């Protein structure tokens, strides 16, 4: 509607278009109340206020009921603060270019809710009694009401627990299917070439207690020395040694159960050393040699030689041969000493 020009017009023709006020209400020239009133310095509109731009200069604005259509911008500076009393409900998204801070708690009402990072590939999924953390769309942590599962999607992701100085106390090596404890104990299925042992322990190991046994259905190996107060071989057990070629088929000791022990192998030299070597048996003491010779030597000089070659038994001594009984020989010479008789 165009604005009227009342110049030169009679008031009787123009008064319906005039606005009058009693200090509170506004009315037209006929006395009809307009939807605009004054309350002190305040202006109230009973209908809608429609504007292309609405500028509020006050630092505090109170809105009882606001129904907005289209986009709405609050504030004109990044340091502006907007306070809402009550709940804020949105049928769509709520986004922030800065931080979203909750002084109490942030409640997600959907049965399966997500907190999503940049790129949408990293997120936390919150369900009923279940929390899942995803990295690059792969589930790395799953927590439910009875378990905490790491690397849930079975990817090549290592898991570590570090001390305050950065030492990896526990490391689950997903690539090699191994578990490291302080880099001193390694447990693996033995498949990777770098982890040929199912259990590898480096450094000193001490087991205490009356029931501190180590039992293995397979082999126990050590790059150093294995020390024990006692070694117990099974009824048909053996102790094998490795030669310079790496062969482990040479036997040092074989336990023949109630028959006895066998020392040495056919292709290795067996040596018993000591200041005194005692052979003690309730029955016979037998020494068997493939050459038929048994030598008792002082350095390289034979003291006593037992010769069983060619079916002929001989005893040769570089010193005296004495007997409290008779000495019988087919031939030879004898020397009588200490007043003996011949």
Rg of the chain taking only CA atoms, in angstroms:
52
> Distance between CA 207 and CA 205 in Å, rounded?
7
Instruction: For the full predicted model, state whether its pTM sits above 0.85.
Output: no
In degrees and rounded to multiples of 5, residue 182 shows phi and psi of 55, 30
Phi, psi dihedral angles at 25 (to 5 degrees)? -100, 150
The number of CA neighbours under 13 Å toward the Cβ of 197 is: 13
Q: Write down the pLDDT at residue 192.
A: 42
Q: What angle do CA 222, 223, 224 make, to 5 degrees?
A: 90
The token duo for 20 is 């009058």
Question: What strands, in cross-sheet order, belong to the sheet with 185-187?
Answer: 159-162, 168-173, 178-181, 185-187, 199-201
Cα separation, 322 vs 81, whole angstroms: 120
Distance CA 282, CA 229 (A): 26
What are the beta bridge partners of residue 65? none
Name the maximum alpha-carbon separation found in the chain.
186
| Residues ≥6 apart with Cβ < 8 Å to 33 | 25, 26, 27
pLDDT means per 10 residues in the chain (342 residues)? 70 76 82 84 82 68 64 78 81 81 80 88 92 92 92 88 88 84 74 56 71 74 77 81 79 78 74 76 66 68 68 69 74 63 58
Structure tokens at 67: 């129904």
Q: Which two tokens stand for residue 85?
A: 């009393």
Three-state secondary structure of the chain:
CCCCCCCCCCHHHHHHHCEEECCCEEEECCCCEEEEEEECCEEEECCCCCCCCCCCCCCCCCCCCCCCCCCCCCCCCCCCCCCCCCCCCCCCCCCCCCCCCCCCCCCCCCCCEEEECHHHCCEEEEECCEEEEEECCEEEEEEECCCEEECCCCCCCCEEEECCCCCEEEEEECCCCEEEECCCEEECCCCCCCCCCCEEECCCCCCCCCCCCCCCCCCCCCCCCCCCCCCCCCCCCEEEECCCCCCCCEEEEEECCCCCEEECCCCCCCCCCCCCCCCCCCCCCCCCCCCCEEEEEECCEEEEEEECHHHCCEEEECCCCCCCCCCCCCCCCCCCCCCCCC
Q: How far apart are CA 131 and CA 108, in angstroms?
A: 13
**C-alpha–C-alpha distance, residues 194 and 171, integer Å:** 16
């Amino acid at each position: 509607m165009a604005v009227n020009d009342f110049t030169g017009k009679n008031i009787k023709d123009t008064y319906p278009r005039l606005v009058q006020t009693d200090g509170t209400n506004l009315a037209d020239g006929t006395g009809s109340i307009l939807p605009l009133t004054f309350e002190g310095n305040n202006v109230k509109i009973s209908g809608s206020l429609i504007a292309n731009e609405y500028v509020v200069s006050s630092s505090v604005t109170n809105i009882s009921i606001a129904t907005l259509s289209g986009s709405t911008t609050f504030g004109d500076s990044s340091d502006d603060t907007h306070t809402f009393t009550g709940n804020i409900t949105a049928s769509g998204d709520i986004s922030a270019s800065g931080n979203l801070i909750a002084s109490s708690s942030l409640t997600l009402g959907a049965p399966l809710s997500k907190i999503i990072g940049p790129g949408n590939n990293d997120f936390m999924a919150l369900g009923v009694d279940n929390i899942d953390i995803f990295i690059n769309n792969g589930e790395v942590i799953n927590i439910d009401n009875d378990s905490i599962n790491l690397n849930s999607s079975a990817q090549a992701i290592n898991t570590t627990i570090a001390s305050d100085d950065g030492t990896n106390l526990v490391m689950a090596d997903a690539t090699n299917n191994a578990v490291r404890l302080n880099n001193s104990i390694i447990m693996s299925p033995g498949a990777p070439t770098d982890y040929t042992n199912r259990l590898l322990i480096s450094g000193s190991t001490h087991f205490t207690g009356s029931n501190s046994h180590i039992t293995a259905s397979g082999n126990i190996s050590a790059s150093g020395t294995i020390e024990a107060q006692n070694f117990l071989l099974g009824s048909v057990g053996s102790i094998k040694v490795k030669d310079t070629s790496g062969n482990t088929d040479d036997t040092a000791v074989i336990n023949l159960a109630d028959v006895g022990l066998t020392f040495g192998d056919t292709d290795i030299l067996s040596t018993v050393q000591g200041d005194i070597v005692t052979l003690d048996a309730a029955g016979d003491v037998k020494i068997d040699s493939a050459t038929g010779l048994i030598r008792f030597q002082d350095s390289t000089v034979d003291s006593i030689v037992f010769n069983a070659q060619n079916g002929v038994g001989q005893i040769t001594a570089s010193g005296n041969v004495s007997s409290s009984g008779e000495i019988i020989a087919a031939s030879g010479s004898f020397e009588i000493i200490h007043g003996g008789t011949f």
